[in-house]
Copies of this chain bind each other. A is one copy, B any other.
Amino acid sequence: MSIENISSNRSSGGWHKQYTHASRTVHCDMRFAIFLPPQASETNKVPVLYWLSGLTCSDENFMQKAGAHRIAAELGIAIVAPDTSPRGENIPDDPDGAYDFGIGAGFYVNATEAPWNRYYHMYDYVVKELPAVIEDHFPVSDIKAISGHSMGGHGALSIALKNSDLYRSVSAFSPIVNPINVPWGQKALSNYLGEDKNAWREYDSCALIKKATSHLPMLIDQGDADQFLHDQLKPENLLQAAEEAGYPLELRMQEGYDHSYYFISSFIEDHVRFHAKHLK
């Protein structure tokens, strides 16, 4: 598994770097970004926080806008940000070029329907291939946490709920918690997975939390002025499912905050410190 470095920037005493590699999971060249804190070395392998971005994003949005490097440098944590879908000229996309499906909108599932099923395996890419690449090429340990925003918050929560043995903690900003019951999720899941709703529930955090047999530390921040709160996000559905399941989670409603990266940069320090406690 070779990777190609395409950019390097010194940042907060560490390094921000972008790479591409030929993914055998999603069958195209994939780009990812990594922040390596100054503490990272072959004799001091650091834990990794995986960040999953939202609709339309690439590996760059979080690295450029969240202000997370400073805190990760202080705490000695690497951050890895993959792209949000396979990408390239030969990758099938939404026929209307919509922002909420296809390229930039992989929803962190393994598609089963043609033509998506050859490429759109972002679940396996994030859970299996990418960590193997990261651990093979960088001075990091296999100790991991996961976080994300919006569609990426859905990805982080659903992946953590299905893989509580792989991650120490999970957090999310403005996550889509109940994709089977909201327009963004219904469009994506019906296209990627077909009409069998049993398959959809395998990626629905409200359904998954009821089946969880072990509990990861879970922190969620949600702005109460988020323009997508009532139609697409519905955090109250996850809160209710968690209560029914006896799954402890902290959901913080943040007054006046919207869906933008200004919200993420306002609270990212809390999230990185939350994960750092569990990554030690």
Contact = CB atoms under 8 A, between A and B. Distances in A.
Interface of A: 9-13, 16, 64-65, 67, 69-70, 223, 225, 255-258, 260-263, 265-266, 269
Given A10-B262, A67-B265, 5 more contacts: A9-B258, A10-B223, A10-B257, A11-B263, A65-B65
Contact of A9 (B12, B13, B69, B260): B260
A134 to B, nearest CB: 20
A262 B63 CA distance: 9
A67 B67 contact: yes
Contacts of A225: 10
Nearest to A66: B67
A273 to B, nearest CB: 14
Contacts of A69: 262, 265-266
Given A10-B223, A10-B225, A10-B257, A16 B262 contact: yes
6 contacts: A9-B262, A10-B258, A10-B263, A12-B262, A70-B265, A70-B269
Contact of A10 (B12, B16, B266): B266
Contact of A266 (B11, B255, B258): B11
